Amino acid sequence: MLVDNPILTSPFEEPTRYWAYEEGQPILKEGRRAAGYYLKARTRGPQLALLEEEFVPLELVNTLRERVKGWRERGYPGVTPITRQLLNHWNNPERERKLFFCQREAAEALVWLVEASPAEKQGIVVPKDDELTRYACKMATGSGKTVVMGMVIAWQVLNKLANPQDRRFCDAVLIVCPNLTIKERLQVLLPWKPGNYYEKFDLVPPGMLERLQQGKFQITNWHLFQPKDDSRSKSVVQRGPESDAAFCRRVLKELGSKQNILVINDEAHHAYRPAPLPDELRQQLSPEEIAEREEATLWVSGLDRIHAERGINFCADFSATPFYIKGSGYEEGAPFPWVVSDFGLVDAIESGIVKVPRVPVDDNTGELIPRYFRLWEWINSQLPASERQTVRRRAKPESVLREAQDALATLASEWKRTFEEFRKADSPVPPVLIVVCDNTDLAKLVHEHIAKGNVLAELENRDGQPEVTFRIDTKLLAEAEAAVEGETKQEAAERLRKVVDTVGKTEWEGDGEPPGKPIRCIVSVGMLNEGWDAQNVTQILGLRAFTSQLLCEQVVGRGLRRLNYDDFTEPEYVDVYGVPFEVIPVKKKAVSRTEVPKVSTLVRALPERKHLEITFPRVEGYVFDVRSRLRVDWDGVPYLVISPTKAPTEVMVKPAVGYRLGRPDRLGPGPEVLHDRNPFHREKRLQATVYELAAEITGRLKEKRQDCAARHVLFPQVLRIVWEYLEKRVVLEEDTVLEEVALLKYRQQIVERLMEAIEPDVEAGEPPLLPVIERFRPIGSTSEVLFRTVRPTVGTTKSHISHVVLDAPKWEHTVAFQLERMPEVISYARNDHLDFTISYEWQGVRHEYRPDYLIRLRQPGDSELKVILEVKGLETEQDRQKEAAARRWVIAVNHHRELGQWAFAVCREPARLQGILRDVKARAG
Mean pLDDT across the chain, nearest whole number? 83
Residue 656's pLDDT is what?
45
Residue 4's pLDDT is what?
56
Residue 588's pLDDT is what?
43
The CA-atom distances, in angstroms, between 820 and each of 336, 795, 856, 903, 925 are: 58, 10, 12, 19, 22
Question: Which range (57-66, 320-329, 485-494) has the least confidence?
Answer: 485-494
The CA-atom distances, in angstroms, between 811 and each of 76, 96, 654, 912 are: 44, 22, 47, 12
Please, which pLDDT band fits residue 44 given cuts at 50, 70 and 90?
A: very low
Q: How far apart (Å, rounded) are the C-alpha atoms in residues 824 and 838?
A: 26
Q: How far apart (Å, rounded) are the C-alpha atoms in residues 881 and 292?
A: 61
Please, which pLDDT band fits residue 118 given cuts at 50, 70 and 90?
A: very high
Mean pLDDT of 511-538: 81
Residue 531's pLDDT is what?
56
Question: CA angle at residue 869 from 803 to 886, to 5 degrees?
Answer: 130
Higher local confidence (pLDDT), 718 or 556 = 718
Secondary structure letter of residue 99 according to DSSP: P
Which range of 278-292, 391-405, 481-495, 883-897 scores highest in mean pLDDT? It is 883-897
Instruction: Give percent above pLDDT 90 in the chain.
Output: 39
Mean pLDDT of 588-600: 51
Question: CA angle at residue 58 from 56 to 61, to 5 degrees?
Answer: 165
Answer whether 168's CB lies under 8 Å from 157's CB.
no
The CATH fold assigned to 607-619+772-924 is Trna Endonuclease; Chain: A, domain 1 (3.40.1350)
What would you measure as the largest C-alpha separation in the chain, in angstroms? 111
Q: How far apart (Å, rounded) are the C-alpha atoms in residues 822 and 819?
A: 5
Residue 42's pLDDT is what?
39
Q: How far apart (Å, rounded) are the C-alpha atoms in residues 389 and 379?
A: 10
Instruction: With a cut of 90, say whether residue 644 has pLDDT above it.
Output: no
> Rounded to 5 degrees, what are φ and ψ at 308?
-65, -35
DSSP string, 192-211: TSTT-HHHHTT-S-TT-HHH
Beta-strand relationship, 537-543 and 573-577: parallel
Residue 576's pLDDT is what?
86
Answer whether 428's CB lies under 8 Å from 503's CB.
no
List own/partner pairs for 208-212 with CB under 8 A and 24 or more apart. Answer: 208/85, 208/154, 208/158, 209/776, 210/776, 211/158, 211/161, 212/153, 212/154, 212/157, 212/158
CA atoms within 13 A on the CB side of 197: 18
Residue 576 class from Cβ within 10 Å (0-12 exposed, 13-18 middle, 19+ buried)? buried
Closest by Cα among 331, 335, 348, 333 to 59: 335
How many beta carbons lie within 10 A of that of residue 670, not counting itself?
A: 10
Question: CA angle at residue 851 from 881 to 919, to 5 degrees?
Answer: 85
Q: What is the CA radius of gyration of the chain?
A: 32
Residue 211's pLDDT is what?
94
Please, which pLDDT band fits residue 216 given cuts at 50, 70 and 90?
A: very high
Mean pLDDT of 604-608: 92
Instruction: With a cut of 70, say whether residue 200 has pLDDT above it.
Output: yes
First to last CA, the chain: 68
Residue 667 class from Cβ within 10 Å (0-12 exposed, 13-18 middle, 19+ buried)? exposed
Please, which pLDDT band fits residue 50 given cuts at 50, 70 and 90?
A: very low
Instruction: With a cut of 70, say whether residue 308 has pLDDT above it.
Output: yes
Q: How far apart (Å, rounded) are the C-alpha atoms in residues 593 and 621?
A: 57
How many beta carbons lie within 10 A of that of residue 838, not counting itself?
A: 20
Instruction: With a cut of 70, say whether residue 48 has pLDDT above it.
Output: no
Please, which pLDDT band fits residue 666 given cuts at 50, 70 and 90?
A: very low
Where along the chain do its domains lie? 17-227+240-350, 356-597, 607-619+772-924, 634-765
Residue 791's pLDDT is what?
86
Instruction: With a cut of 70, say whether residue 191 has pLDDT above it.
Output: yes
Segments in 670-781 forming alpha helices (H):
678-683, 686-704, 711-729, 744-757
Residue 152's pLDDT is what?
98
Instruction: Give percent above pLDDT 70 in the chain.
Output: 84
Q: How far apart (Å, rounded) are the C-alpha atoms in residues 600 and 428?
A: 9
Answer whether 532's CB lies under 8 Å from 461's CB.
no
The region, left, alpha or beta by phi > 0 then psi within -120 to 50, assigned to residue 598 is beta
Higher local confidence (pLDDT), 510 or 912 = 912
Residue 47's pLDDT is what?
38
Q: How far apart (Å, rounded) are the C-alpha atoms in residues 117 and 35?
A: 24
For 93-104, write each residue's pLDDT tens digit: 888 889 999 999
Closest by Cα among 405, 415, 407 to 520: 415
For 468-524, write each residue's pLDDT tens digit: 999 886 655 665 555 555 545 566 667 777 888 888 888 877 778 888 899 999 998
Crossing angle, helix 81-91 and helix 101-115, to 10 degrees? 170
Mean pLDDT of 868-882: 87
The CA-based dihedral angle spanning residues 37, 38, 39, 43, taken in that order and rounded to the nearest 10 degrees? 180
Which range of 286-300, 698-712, 775-789 scores highest in mean pLDDT? It is 775-789
For 398-442, write each residue's pLDDT tens digit: 888 888 888 898 888 889 888 999 998 888 899 999 999 988 889
Mean pLDDT of 190-210: 92
Instruction: With a cut of 70, say whether residue 10 has pLDDT above it.
Output: yes
Mean pLDDT of 861-866: 88
For 703-754, write each residue's pLDDT tens digit: 765 556 677 888 899 999 999 999 998 999 877 888 888 877 788 889 888 9
Please, which pLDDT band fits residue 648 given cuts at 50, 70 and 90?
A: low
Answer whether 242's CB lies under 8 Å from 250's CB.
yes
Q: How far apart (Å, rounded) are the C-alpha atoms in residues 598 and 562?
A: 10
Q: How far apart (Å, rounded) are the C-alpha atoms in residues 579 and 558?
A: 12
Higher local confidence (pLDDT), 668 or 507 = 507
Residue 180's pLDDT is what?
76
